Chains A and B, each alone.
Chain A
Amino acid sequence: MRTLHEAAHCLRTRMGPARVATPLRSAMNWEAIITTLKLATATATILAVIGLPISYWVAFSKLRWKFLVEAVVALPLVLPPTVLGFYVLVAMGPRSPFGHWYESLTGHGLPFTLEGLVIASTLYSLPFAVQPVAAAFRSIDRRMIEASWTLGVSSWGTFFRVIVPQAKAGLVAGFVLSFAHTVGEFGVVLMVGGNIPGVTRTISIHVYDEVQSMDYASAGMTSLALLVFSFLILSLVYSLTPRRDRIL
């Protein structure tokens, strides 16, 4: 619990400068947009890499206890972001072995940094990266894989030359969805990242701030931009994914 107290204290002190800076904000906060893009790009890229083996395992493993792993991967879909954020914050705190290890390695802690935010976002968007890819893997005809084996191609070769090319739409959908979902994050970002301009303040939090300070015109502009962006992203995903493979 002490860790959380420290965090809350930190949050309060760190939020101070943001409030002061309010009158200086322009209609479009480029700082927040850049922070958001940095966060979303890093998260989606990391997820594309670590999501691939997880998706493969979820799609092809015949283990009896597979459903447990599937449930863990899907947890962020149902868990309140604050709950997830709370656990991540505790895990990152200087008192946890991980947080301690990270701090001794880099000289600074993870909470209220962009790195910390990336770790939290990666966990939070995991189902969005894994499920479309696993669905695409599952829809591949088993005989395609066997045909590759009978032609002398190793399991790795088969993965990269048969499975990945045929799951292309799922891979794109996984990347785009985890990117878009990170852009739309609010609860986790506020819990883990705080609200530090130029470091952890993303667009969604920016909108919240604008509404808090009654700047409705600016909030409207930013919201509209986010709305159009999200619509375009989802249109792209739907146009790429065959009807039968859709998971959303």
Chain B
Amino acid sequence: MLNAEIAKTFKSGVQVKASLSLPPGPSVTVLFGVSGAGKTTLLRCIAGLEQLTAGKIVFSGQVWADVSKRRHMPTQKRPIGYLFQDYALFPHLNVRDNIGFGIHHLASGVRSERIRTTAATLQIEDLLERQPDELSGGQQQRVALARVLVREPGLLLLDEPLSALDGVARDHVRAELARLLRRLQIPAIIVTHDWVDALTLGDRLHVMSRGVVLQEGSPQDVFAKPQYAEVASVVGMENLVVGHVRERTADVLKLQVGTAELYAADPKGDHTDYFVCIRGENVTLETVRAGQSSARNNLRGRVKEISAAGSLMKVIVDVGFEIVALVTHQAVMDMQLSPGVEVFAVFKASAVHLIPRTV
């Protein structure tokens, strides 16, 4: 599908060097990392908006760029759909003309039919006569997506598709985008610095830092088993497992994780599967079972591994799944923790962060 060996050196000396290969089929690859990591540069190189310093980009057998042969296919010729960070809608055109901008060469009948069906897919039929400045952030995103999709691209490139939105709108649009990407069946590369976006949208994750890809794999693997300290600090989440809803009561969800059951605050919605995220600092270890406690989760297990993690100790406990607790060195000494010792992992339902998993 896409095979890219990309090296780009800017005049300022900033370097981005990465290889990227997308599996055949409509998968969603997330380029994840803090700002300045080189994610957008990589995306711009694939789009042809930046010329490579060295390397090669091949998409479905078609050479898009090959520095050794001095080839650079212009952006216009690449079958891409590029979504800009703040959508870059043309302010002098209404929504209809924005969507139709890239299919100007088609006969007007075909063009208006395509605009109509694309607008229907994105549920923006009633916005067609509006000007871009009369749209909300979420609506602008949909118009920008329609403008891209109407050309029937072979590869979608989305640069921080949600960063222009905030709060409730962001959660809503994120869920919609995830559904849309599943339905479209077009391979996509998404750039984001937000780990919730990465988990919700991505099938595969490439973690970038300072211009190189540090780790790649499924979101779960990358989040749960960061291979480098840098990746761990970028993802910043020690526990990430998949949970299936068992029971929904009032404000609390009961989830099955591995062979264990745990409680979490209900984020509302009708999802049946979630990514369960718990920060290591929020997990307390106890050697005897406490009596009454406000913490809803009290999971019995055995210590599997103890290692140093910065100034803290990282204790992995098997409670039916592997849970990581970050505790002080003194606590490990006082509780005489060592592999095989029986402990209770205790954490509040509100310390469990749930992210809907679109299957």
Interfacial residues, chain A to chain B (CB-CB below 8 A): 141, 143-144, 146-154, 157, 161-162, 165-166, 168
A223 to B92, CA, bound (A): 40
Q: Are B88 and A149 in contact (CB under 8 A)?
A: no
B interface residues, how many (CB within 8 angstroms): 20
Interfacial residues, chain B to chain A (CB-CB below 8 A): 47, 49, 74-77, 80-82, 84, 88, 90-92, 101-102, 104, 147-148, 151
A152 to B26, CA, bound (A): 22
List residues of chain B with CB within 8 A of the CB of A168.
Answer: 92
Q: Are B91 and A152 in contact (CB under 8 A)?
A: no
**Residue of B with least CB distance to A157:** B104
| Of B76, B92, B147, the contact of A149 (CB 8 Å cutoff) | B76
* Given contact pairs A146-B49, A147-B82, A152 touches B151 in the complex (Cβ within 8 A): yes
List residues of chain A with CB within 8 A of the CB of B102.
Answer: 151-153
List residues of chain B with CB within 8 A of the CB of A148.
Answer: 90, 101
**What's the nearest-Cβ distance from chain A to residue B45, in Å?**
13
- Report how many A-B pairs have Cβ atoms within 8 Å: 48
A200 to B206, CA, bound (A): 72
**Residue of A with least CB distance to B147:** A151
Q: Are A144 and B90 in contact (CB under 8 A)?
A: yes
A162 to B92, CA, bound (A): 8
| Of A150, A157, A165, the contact of B47 (CB 8 Å cutoff) | A150
| Of A153, A157, A166, the contact of B92 (CB 8 Å cutoff) | A166
List residues of chain A with CB within 8 A of the CB of B90.
Answer: 144, 147-148, 162, 166
Q: Are A152 and B76 in contact (CB under 8 A)?
A: yes
List residues of chain A with CB within 8 A of the CB of B81.
Answer: 150
**What's the nearest-Cβ distance from chain B to residue A64, in Å?**
12
**What's the nearest-Cβ distance from chain A to residue B132, in Å?**
11
Q: Are A153 and B101 in contact (CB under 8 A)?
A: yes
Q: Are A143 and B92 in contact (CB under 8 A)?
A: no
A173 to B28, CA, bound (A): 48
A48 to B82, CA, bound (A): 34
**What's the nearest-Cβ distance from chain A to residue B169, in Å?**
22
List residues of chain B with CB within 8 A of the CB of A162.
Answer: 90
Q: Are A150 and B101 in contact (CB under 8 A)?
A: no
A144 to B82, CA, bound (A): 12
List residues of chain B with CB within 8 A of the CB of A165.
Answer: 92
Q: Are B49 and A161 in contact (CB under 8 A)?
A: no
| Of A147, A149, A153, A166, the contact of B104 (CB 8 Å cutoff) | A153
* Given contact pairs A149-B49, A166-B91, A143 touches B84 in the complex (Cβ within 8 A): yes
